[in-house]
Structures are given as structure tokens and as C-alpha cells.
């Protein structure tokens, strides 16, 4: 902004006009409003990312535990015996309106780490986790972990899988 010489002052003394001061205040106010308007959006994005991180960590923990059991124990019965499943009851994720367009059988593992406060049911809003076991061929089994949670009216999920070979 240009400094102008104010009438009635000594020569060499300069100041801002009223219009320039008002424009400067308006620009500062506009910047403050933009920053304050962006804060809720940033907090919402941070919250979504935090929930996705938690879900991914829970899924990774379950996958690592399944991998540590090895190929012979990569079955629902052995996973239940090792504390990886809530029950041996098969849940169809499609009919539970959680996943897929066709029948998708899985075993619930939502509350397996509840004493350590490390379960999907405690860490995520309406959180649930499931494991699936499938035999691809006689020497190869697939284990998948799917973690669901609610964000507003939207159901989000993370899905991780691992292959276990009979070596």
C-alpha cells in the first residue's frame, strides 16, 4: 500500500488513508474466516484417517497371529482354540449387510482382544471384525481379516489377506 502525505502535517510525515486501513482489515478478516472454516474439515479428515489406521492395525495384528499359527492351524476350529475367534458360528457378511453382493461366510473376531482393550468393538464406532479361511489348493490356504466401522451413515472397512503354504 502506498503511503500518502496527510494534509495539515509537517512535510515528510506520512500515514495510511482510512480507505487503505479498511481494505487491510477486510483482507485480514477474510484470511481469518478462511482458516477458521478449514479447521472443521481438517479435523474430520484427521478423524477418518485415525479410524482407518486403527482398523488397519487391528487387521494386521490378526493376520500376523494367523501367520504365526502356520499352515496346519489355518482353520476356523484351530483359530478358535487359539483365541482368534469369538465363536465358530459362521456369519454371512452379505446378509448382515456389511460386505459383498453374494454369500460371503466369515467368523466374527470382534471381541477377541477385549481384555487388552485392543478390539474392534471398543476402538471403532460400531466396529466389528471377521476372519475368513479358504483352501486354494491342498498346499495353500488363504486367511482374510475384514474390519468394519461406521463413519456417520457410511460403513467403512479394511480388508487384509495372507497366503499360508504347506512347505
- Residue 120: the pLDDT is 87
Instruction: List pLDDT tens digits, range 8-20.
Output: 555 655 777 888 8
Distance between CA atoms of 56 and 166, rounded to whole angstroms? 27
Q: Domain range holding 141? A: 51-165
Is 90 exceeded by the pLDDT of residue 26? Answer: yes
Number of domains present in the structure of the chain: 1
**Is residue 115 situated within a structural domain?**
yes
Residue 160 lies in a domain: yes
Residue 23 lies inside a defined structural domain of this protein: no
**pTM here?**
0.75
Average pLDDT, the chain: 84
Q: Can you tell me the distance from the alpha carbon of 41 to that of 29, in angstroms, rounded to the nearest whole number?
A: 19
Note whether residue 8 is domain-resident: no
- 95 or 119: which leads in pLDDT: 119
Phi and psi based region of residue 42 (left: phi greater than 0; alpha: psi -120 to 50; beta: remaining): alpha
Is there a domain that residue 98 lies in? yes
Please state, in angstroms and rounded to a whole number, the distance separating the CA atoms of residues 103 and 105: 6
CB 100 within 8 A of CB 83: no
3-class DSSP state of 78: helix
Higher per-residue confidence, 4 vs 122: 122
The residue with cell 487388552 is: 116
Averaged over 33-62, what is the pLDDT?
88
In tens, the pLDDT along 148-157 reads: 999 888 889 9
Element spanning 24, H or E: helix 18-69
The pLDDT tens digits for 99-109 are 666 777 889 88
- Kindly state whether residue 78 falls inside one of the protein's structural domains: yes
Q: Is residue 149, in this structure, part of any structural domain at all?
A: yes
Residue 144: all three cell numbers together: 482374510
Task: Select the highest-mean-pLDDT range: 33-47, 104-118, 133-147.
Answer: 133-147
CA–CA separation, 141 and 35 (whole Å): 52
pLDDT in tens, 124-134: 998 999 999 98
Degrees to nearest 5, angle at CA 21 with 16 and 24: 125
pLDDT at 83: 85
Whether 26 is in a domain gets the answer no
Q: How confident is the model at residue 59 (pLDDT cuts 50, 70, 90)?
A: very high
Amino acid at each position: 500500500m502506498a503511503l500518502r502525505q496527510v494534509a495539515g502535517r509537517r512535510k515528510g510525515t506520512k500515514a495510511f488513508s482510512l480507505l487503505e486501513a479498511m481494505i487491510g482489515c477486510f483482507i485480514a478478516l477474510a484470511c481469518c474466516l478462511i482458516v477458521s472454516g478449514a479447521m472443521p474439515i481438517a479435523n474430520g479428515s484427521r478423524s477418518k484417517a485415525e479410524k482407518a489406521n486403527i482398523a488397519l492395525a487391528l487387521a494386521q495384528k490378526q493376520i500376523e497371529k494367523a501367520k504365526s499359527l502356520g499352515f496346519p492351524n489355518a482353520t476356523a476350529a484351530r483359530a478358535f482354540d487359539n483365541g482368534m475367534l469369538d465363536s465358530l458360528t459362521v456369519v454371512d457378511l452379505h446378509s448382515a449387510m456389511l460386505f459383498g453382493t453374494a454369500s460371503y461366510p466369515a467368523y466374527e473376531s470382534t471381541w477377541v482382544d477385549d481384555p487388552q482393550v485392543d478390539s474392534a468393538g471398543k476402538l471403532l464406532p460400531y466396529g466389528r471384525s471377521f476372519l475368513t479361511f479358504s483352501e486354494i489348493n491342498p498346499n495353500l490356504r488363504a486367511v482374510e481379516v475384514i474390519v468394519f466401522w461406521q463413519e456417520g451413515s457410511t460403513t467403512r472397512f479394511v480388508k487384509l489377506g495372507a497366503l499360508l503354504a504347506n512347505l
